[in-house]
Amino acid sequence: MASRAEPTSGAEPPEAGGRRDWRDVARDAADLALLGILLTLAAVPLLTAAAAAGTASAAVHDWTRTGSWPSARTTVRRFGRSVLPGAPVSLLALVGAALLAADLAALATGRVPGGPAALLVTVLIAASLAGYAGLVVVEVGGNGGGRWRASARSAARACLDVPTRWAALTGVVALAGLLAVLVTPVAVPILAGYTVAALHAVAGRPSLATGATPSPELP
């Protein structure tokens, strides 16, 4: 994922009437797959999960803006300076996910009262929180892979201001979770890279960022 002097990535809009070469598409797909693998490896210690996600998001942010990936030195520097600030975020996310998973399991098996209605509400809450977390990761990417507290506040305001974007990001995370269950475990790290890219793509859509409904083009 080294920087390219003359970007040909799909992150850049193609010239009018131009078509992208299949090799560019294949290269972008391979880059995102490698990104997901590196993200997963960096998150293996668990407490580095936030730093890994933030660094990957920052790399995707650069790619979508310039068409080139950041250099390896830049990526390593971002990850190194994000490990300690991101450790509490990782711990909070892991504890929250564990509690939600335990609650869902208890409701699904009938160990606690509530029935299907309570299970549905809990699923919706979990999905909404996951969508919010996805937007936080996007905001962190725009901040160079750090500043989690500021990014969390910014994402919260964005979710309240534009609920459609929040819903779209929730859909992205939910789809990624479903695919993670369906695909083989070996493919899950690859899916992680595509998920980060999808979050950036959805969050950056003008119609979702402003809450406006795009007008149909007239013939």
Q: What pTM value is reported for the model?
A: 0.80
Percent share of the chain, pLDDT over 70 = 84
pLDDT at 217 over 80: no
φ/ψ of 213, rounded to 5, equals -95, 120
- Cα distance between residue 53 and residue 135, in whole Å: 12
Beta-carbon contacts of residue 60 (< 8 Å; ≥ 6 apart)? 35, 141, 196, 197, 200
pLDDT at 94 over 70: yes
Label residue 8 by pLDDT band (50, 70, 90).
very low
pLDDT in tens, 31-51: 999 999 999 999 999 999 999
pLDDT at 115 over 80: no
pLDDT at 61 over 90: yes
- Cα distance between residue 39 and residue 42, in whole Å: 5
- 218 torsion bin: left (phi>0), alpha (psi -120 to 50), beta (else): beta
pLDDT at 2 over 50: no
pLDDT in tens, 141-197: 988 888 899 999 999 999 998 899 999 999 999 999 999 989 888 889 999 999 999
Residue 84: its pLDDT value, please?
92
DSSP 44-95: TTSTTHHHHHHHHHHHHHHHHHHSSPPPHHHHHHHHHHHHHHHHHHHHHHHH
Label residue 18 by pLDDT band (50, 70, 90).
low
